[in-house]
Structure 1
């Protein structure tokens, strides 16, 4: 199974992580510090500085090992760093494994019924999600993102790939409970998951299209990454060059400076340029 290397969940996880850190009891840290990162348009600067966040979270978790918010931040940050900045496969797998471990620990800290999620049968897993409420959405989103990142870094392991259905179930439940959470990015995940395969091989491209359109709508067009993934994952899958180029050109024409989304949008515009540059070869 081969996935394109674009880490589609990474910017959304990073957004979640720094917002969570804002809510943690970090003495003498100004509330606007996380937005100094989220509103930064220099990806290199963020790459250079992100390890400091990782080490800070690791240290805090050592002191508060059952803190749901810190564990969720660890899951988000390690997943983001592994997917966005680490090119060496073995190191990326190691970091994504740590992200998933933090994700499971955060879920367990949130509710004791979530402590054995991975070992539950599919019916038990789905039943537990059916019982989830809106208050469970943040921890489920962090876990689902970390789990997706782990699978992407372990695509040669069919035991890992077989867990994709659980990630899809988590994101579908988030949509049912609070589809606007994080600018509708659960829809973005579902768009990607439904467009991994063409319809002839069991994929669901039309469902993917609907999810991408909802993600764009729920963000009022401000989340440029949703449009980039719509072009890459759906338009390329169905060989719709007109839609592909239209979406990407809209992204490049947009103002990326949106409070809390500037970093993510800068990354999206970078990806849009790359996709347009090789469009002639693809189509």
Structure 2
């Protein structure tokens, strides 16, 4: 088999050309065709090993092409691209279910798409459309759950403890975390992030909130191993953790601010979501209307290329800043400003 170059069937060759060309947006019918072609690979290629080889190479291409999406500033295009990838990635996992790179990509894709669903949920809540908001909340919870499972599956490949992460004893769980190394930061972060967001959407469910200490331990381990990962995302978790809770249950505005400063340091003050978090999870809980408006306006006034190569994150920050700034008059007592 060494040196053999399998002939790739025409339907799958089209998928590869789309990926290599950096084209992520697909119409729904076209996407279904590509997924169907992908699932037919064992028949088309005439051998399971060649199928896995081809899918493995495709995973590498997708992984390398991700930077193009980070440079995109059109949120509609980004959302459609991420949505289109969800079932493509899950289809490939039917063929290579243990591929760690693909599992991480799938986890990140579901968390990313869930973020778009959350944004729509907030819009529905603002409009008073409770039924739509409830439906979107349920969908976001489901997507975060899938994201968590895929990331934990990667971690469980090196330590079976993570296959029982929600139920294993805390001492055993924390011991497994201590054995993780820097190369495992990526699945660790996405598992913790998805778990945290799912809990955040179910704050009224004690059976969900009870898992928060595990998420906290996971994020602390991320900081220990590589605090810079994903824009310093673990620090943003602790911004919410300390900023969005009352002091009686562990809230601490000063610690929230410390973590925001870490994010600004890591990104040289170019990551605008940090300013959004400053407004949303520090200024708002403190009822500091002036700081709230100043931080959100700074996001809106910043140029789109403030963080070159990361225009997607900038666009998301601007979209959320616009929505939350528009609510300022309802969030603060104007008589005390």
Q: Name which of structure 1's ranges 57-66 and 120-129 shifts more when overlaid on structure 2.
A: 120-129
User: Contact conserved, 1:71 with 1:102, CA < 8 A, in 2?
Assistant: yes
Partner SS state of residue 118, structure 1: coil
CA–CA separation in structure 2 for the residues paired with 1:124 and 1:154: 26
Rg (Cα) greater in structure: 2
Please, which of 247, 271, 282 is the counterpart of residue 295 of structure 2? Answer: 247
CA–CA separation in structure 2 for the residues paired with 1:128 and 1:39: 36
How many Å apart are 1:199 and its aligned residue? 1.7
Query: CA 1:238–1:55 in 2, change beyond 3 Å: closer, same or farther?
Result: same
Partner SS state of residue 166, structure 2: helix
Superposed CA offset, 1:141-166 (max 9, x none):
11111211322343343211111111
Please, which of 158, 181, 187 is the counterpart of residue 133 of structure 1? Answer: 181
Residue matched to 1:97 = 145
User: Contact conserved, 2:242 with 2:250, CA < 8 A, in 1?
Assistant: no
How many Å apart are 1:27 and its aligned residue? 6.9
Residue matched to 1:263 = 312
Query: CA 1:116–1:137 in 2, change beyond 3 Å: closer, same or farther?
Result: same
How many Å apart are 1:32 and its aligned residue? 5.9
CA–CA separation in structure 2 for the residues paired with 1:134 and 1:33: 23
Describe how 1:184-263 pairs up with structure 2 within 5 A: 184-257=232-305, 258-263=307-312
Q: TM-score of the superposition, structure 1-length normalised?
A: 0.84
Residue matched to 1:14 = none
Task: Please report the RMSD computed on the Cα atoms of aligned residues, expressed in angstroms.
Answer: 2.3
1:25 aligns with 2:53: no
Q: What number of residue pairs does the alignment pair up?
A: 261
User: Contact conserved, 2:148 with 2:190, CA < 8 A, in 1?
Assistant: no
Please, which of 74, 78, 81 is the counterpart of residue 42 of structure 1? Answer: 74
Residue matched to 1:12 = none
CA–CA separation in structure 2 for the residues paired with 1:179 and 1:27: 27
Q: Which has the bigger relative contact order, CA under 8 A and spacing at least 6?
A: 1
Q: Which runs of 5+ in 2 are unaligned?
A: 1-23, 25-55, 122-135, 333-337
Describe how 1:69-218 pairs up with structure 2 within 5 A: 69-85=101-117, 87=121, 88-218=136-266
How many Å apart are 1:68 and its aligned residue? 1.5
CA–CA separation in structure 1 for the residues paired with 2:93 and 2:297: 43
Query: CA 1:192–1:167 in 2, change beyond 3 Å: closer, same or farther?
Result: same
How many Å apart are 1:130 and its aligned residue? 2.5
Partner SS state of residue 140, structure 1: helix
How many Å apart are 1:197 and its aligned residue? 1.0
CA–CA separation in structure 2 for the residues paired with 1:146 and 1:131: 21
How many Å apart are 1:223 and its aligned residue? 1.2
User: Contact conserved, 1:110 with 1:139, CA < 8 A, in 2?
Assistant: no
CA–CA separation in structure 2 for the residues paired with 1:204 and 1:92: 28
Partner SS state of residue 256, structure 1: coil
Query: CA 1:134–1:49 in 2, change beyond 3 Å: closer, same or farther?
Result: closer
